[in-house]
Amino acid sequence: MNQTKLFNLFVIVLALTLGIVGCRPKPKGPTPIPGMTGTPRGTNDMFGVGPGPGPTLPADQNPRTNPNPIPEGGVPLTRFDPGAMNQDRDRFAANTVYFDFDRATIKPSETSKIDDVVRYLQANPTHAVQIEGHCDERGTEQYNLSLGERRALAVREYLVTAGIQPERVFTISYGETKPAVQGHNEAAWSKNRRGVFVLLTPK
């Protein structure tokens, strides 16, 4: 983990230095993730895998507190190839993130569970995660599919902000089709509004 952090810091410093002289380095990102089938894009940010133009961190900003700011329109997604990765639903079973009704914002009570996943992914650079977004049954069906995706993306943005490469974080929305708990009351609903981590390891 410490090595990864040091490496990230090194890349940031390198990117900033080269950015000053207007040169865009060919990035030396981490080992490519197996199963990553997204189109290659202009890779000139600190991790060599991010979208859009390179980072413009002010010199006085501590990169560790906000190393990878989320652009206004969101962080573009990569298509997940299920044939290339093993899925482990148990590893992060205790890290499920819960949401308030009709909301897709991460509650303070949930952040430590996501921080666990951040630390794991930093320590295991060839591993990735898929985040499933789920809803309770009280929204309409098409709306819930978008809300579930929004929830999964909120968790993804947290991971990316914490420095995890966007290409290692996939999302899928199930809307309300896969409730964790059956029932038509708040006890069930509160368990169904969730983001579930599925660990992906190379085959």
Q: How far is the CB of 77 from other proteins (least distance, A)?
A: 4
Our CB check for other proteins shows the closer of 71 and 202 to be 71
Q: How far is the CB of 74 from other proteins (least distance, A)?
A: 2
Distance (Å, whole) CA 181 – CA 178: 9
The per-residue DSSP string of 60-112 comes to TS-TTTSSSPPPTT-PPP--B-GGGEEEESSTTGGG-EE--TT--SPPGGGHH
Q: Which of 149, 155, 158 is nearest to 176 (CA)?
A: 149
Distance (Å, whole) CA 130 – CA 132: 6
Our CB check for other proteins shows the closer of 10 and 74 to be 74
Q: How far is the CB of 43 from other proteins (least distance, A)?
A: 16
Q: How far is the CB of 147 from other proteins (least distance, A)?
A: 5
Our CB check for other proteins shows the closer of 163 and 175 to be 175
Site residues (vs other proteins, CB under 8 A): 38, 70-80, 82, 102, 104, 137-143, 145-147, 149-150, 153, 171-174, 177-178, 184
Our CB check for other proteins shows the closer of 81 and 116 to be 81
Residue type at position 73: G
Half-sphere exposure in the Cβ direction for 173 (13 Å, CA): 19
Q: How far is the CB of 59 from other proteins (least distance, A)?
A: 27
Our CB check for other proteins shows the closer of 58 and 73 to be 73
11 contacts 50 by C-beta, under 8 angstroms: no
Instruction: Extract the tokens encoding 63.
Output: 């990169």
Distance (Å, whole) CA 26 – CA 45: 10
